Structure formats: structure tokens, C-alpha cells
Amino acid sequence: MASIGLKDMSKSRKAKLGTFIVEFATPGIGHIAHNAGCDFVLLDMEHSAFSHETVKSAIRYFEAAGVRVIVRSPSRDYTMIARACDAGAEGVMVPMVGTAEEARMMLDHMKYFPQGKRGVALSIAHDNYSNSTASVADRMQAANDRLTFFCQIETAEGAENVDAIAAVEGVDCLWVGHFDLSTSLGIPGQFEHPKYIAAMDRIIAAAKKHNKALGRLVPSTDLGIALFKDGFDFCCYSGDVWLLQQALSEGISRLKAGCV
């Protein structure tokens, strides 16, 4: 599925499998992810120290390997989102979207006229430095068609308004930020709490009603499989830091036990 664009992925309810990149934006990371079977990666700017320059380079590493990239903006600020788009992000995730009006504003930041208000820059990273002779309007529309909006629902407000958010044209995927959502609900980390379950039920129902993709970061394969059965088709399995820690910890522990 890695050869399929994110926009087409978002229209399918088949499982799309990837991982979270928060630490290692190295030249080989794209092919490592590809050879592990990833369809996509979520390249994080919210909780990492990645700059736009780092993100721009990392996108090329993943493109070379045929792995699709979602860039999570560190904020809902225009300059952060538009620059991620200019750097070549095919998918953009925006944190803590609380209302349909906010979702539309994020689309204004991402999309060119007539679907948005993003400043125009052509023949740069996002269109592979094309020297196309197509009209400016056609090139802007091609950029709009390529961009995929992952709208993060991770507040009590967002969960309350999720049906209206999901109804917004241009929202391609609802992405649950489970830790922040539980914290916003006043029950941090209590994923079996009735308030959290009720919020999740609203989100799942909204995605199904409006035929939107649904995604989440998952710490285990068992949880990922269970969530897929609930309707989550974008499964972001663990992340570079935690996968390395887990594998290294297991190996060192076995060595310690055996080297006595």
C-alpha cells in the first residue's frame, strides 16, 4: 500500500500501518521503515525538536523509500502549517482541533485558493521543484488535491463537537490523541473510564457517519488489532524511541541473565 498516496489511503477502510518518528530523522530511516512494512510514518514536530529544515530533509528520505509522510505541526499557527506544506508534507496533522470553525481555519492554512488562503509558492519542495507548463490554477489545484488533513481530536471540546468537525469538507481523517483526550476529560490515563469510552464512541460514530478515516497511536499490536475492529484504519504502531528502548532493554536483560 505504500505506493498509494495518503489521500487515496484515507478513502479506504483497509488497515494502513505505520510508526511514529520523534527522534531519529536519519538518512536511512525511510528505507528502515519501508523494509519493516510501513505504509506511512507520523513525523512529529509537536514533541520533538525537529526544525522545518530537518523535516524537509526527512520527507525526502521517506519519499525515496516510498513511505508516505504525515507531519504533525507543533501548533495551529499559519506559519507552522504552511511551512510544513511547503517543505513537502503530503499529510498534515493539526493538534487539539476543537470546533468545525477551527478545522476550516486549518484548511485555510493548508490549501491554496479557492479552497484556502495559503500563500502561493510553486516549483519548490512540495511539487518536486516542477517546471511544469500547466496553468498556475491547475498547479495550485494539484497541490490541494495531494494534501491530506489529519484532524486531531484530543480535547473534551473536540470530542463534543466531533460530528460537526467530521462533516467539514477537507477533513480526511479524525486522529485521536488518547492521552490528551483523557486528560482534557479530567481522567488522565483512565481509558476504561465511562467518560473516555463515551467520547470515543462519539468519535467513532462521527467517522463512520461521514465516511472519514480514523487513526491513533497504539503501544501494542493487540490494541491495534482491537481498535481496527472498532473502525480505526490508520494504525501508528509505537515510535522510534520506544521501539529501540524495548528491543535494547530485552537484549541487554537477556545478556545480563546469561553472562554470569
What are the residue numbers of the active site?
A: 47
Helix, strand, or coil (residue 40)? strand
Q: How far apart are the first and last CA of the chain?
A: 47
How far is 118 from 174, CA to CA, in rounded Å?
Answer: 22
In order of 29, 119, 121, 133, 241, the CA distances from 20 in angstroms are 12, 29, 29, 37, 9
How far is 249 from 9, CA to CA, in rounded Å?
Answer: 35
At 102, which helix (H) or strand (E)? helix 100-110
